[in-house]
């Protein structure tokens, strides 16, 4: 199975007068697990939405395997939004059945396994789930697809420590090494830095630092969290 390469060529995305992404050019290697880092407002979510095809660039181009985001690329991109997109009236099982109906790459046995690992009750109504359980369900939805690119926008945002640990565990145990690209945005580097092969620090919609996480530690003699403080102080 081929894996998709994602490229940004001089991409600009503005909201009003303010550029959220300002002349960004970068190639995201296929099969990499990348941490998209930066404080709130640095352009992380916008960058993910551009790849997911939810936003169109005002200038420049975003290409997935040479193609602009479309229905065709959406079939190979799984996107976990930061906002809660689940329906309260559905059950856990109903939610997963509903999502699975949209995607040909849905892996039901993986979904079943993840639901067990997450400790989710399949018959529970989504509206009755705690915030942590809802976050777990969102991860099940994103990781049950054999998507070539998985975009995770702040998957740990606002959830309790046991759920954070479960979410990270599920990502690490389920992602297909080398044949699946994961781009995960977070402003919480302390908890997540060991997950990433590569890190991209965004600042005002531009690249502030990009590199292999282990190489950065070796060359700079600093942890990613220390580099984060250095870049954004």
Partner 1 sequence: MHLRLDQGSPIYQQIIDEFKRSIARGDLGPGDRIPSQRELATMVQVNPNTVQRAYREMEQERIAETLRGQGTFISNDPDLVTKIRREMAERALVSFVQEMHSLGYTKDGMTNLVSEAYDRIIQGGDVRGDHDL
The site for partner 1 (CB under 8 A) is made up of 33, 165, 168-169, 172-173, 177, 193-197, 213-214, 217-218, 220-223, 225-226
Nearer to partner 1, 125 or 217 (CB): 217
Give the neighbor-by-neighbor strand order of the sheet with 149-153. 77-80, 149-153, 181-186, 33-37, 198-203, 206-212
Nearer to partner 1, 86 or 149 (CB): 149
Cα 63 to chain centroid distance, Å, stands at: 17
Tokens at 21, concatenated: 């992404």
Cα separation values, 29 from 26, 83, 220, 228, Å: 10, 27, 23, 22
Nearer to partner 1, 148 or 198 (CB): 198
Nearer to partner 1, 58 or 214 (CB): 214
Selection from 233, 83, 200 nearest residue 153 by Cα: 83
């Amino acid at each position: 199975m081929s894996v998709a390469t994602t490229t940004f060529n001089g991409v600009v995305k503005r909201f009003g007068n303010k550029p959220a992404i300002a002349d960004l050019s970068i190639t995201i290697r296929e099969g990499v697990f990348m941490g998209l880092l930066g404080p709130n407002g640095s352009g992380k979510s916008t960058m993910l939405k551009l790849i997911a095809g939810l936003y169109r660039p005002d200038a420049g181009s975003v290409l997935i395997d040479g193609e602009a985001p479309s229905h065709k690329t959406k079939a190979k991109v799984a996107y976990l939004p930061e906002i809660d997109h689940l329906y309260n009236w559905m059950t856990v099982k109903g939610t997963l059945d509903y999502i699975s109906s949209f995607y040909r790459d849905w892996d039901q046995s993986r979904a079943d396994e993840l639901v067990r690992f997450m400790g989710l009750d399949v018959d529970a109504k989504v509206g009755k789930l705690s915030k942590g359980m809802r976050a777990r369900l969102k991860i099940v939805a994103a990781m049950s697809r054999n998507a070539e690119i998985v975009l995770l926008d702040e998957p740990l945002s606002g959830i309790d420590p046991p759920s954070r640990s479960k979410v990270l565990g599920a990502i690490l145990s389920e992602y297909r090494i080398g044949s699946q690209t994961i781009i995960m945005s977070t402003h919480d580097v302390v908890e997540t830095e060991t997950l990433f092969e590569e890190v991209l620090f965004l600042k005002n919609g531009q690249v502030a630092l990009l590199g292999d996480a282990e190489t950065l530690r070796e060359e700079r003699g600093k942890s990613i969290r220390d580099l984060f403080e250095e870049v954004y102080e």
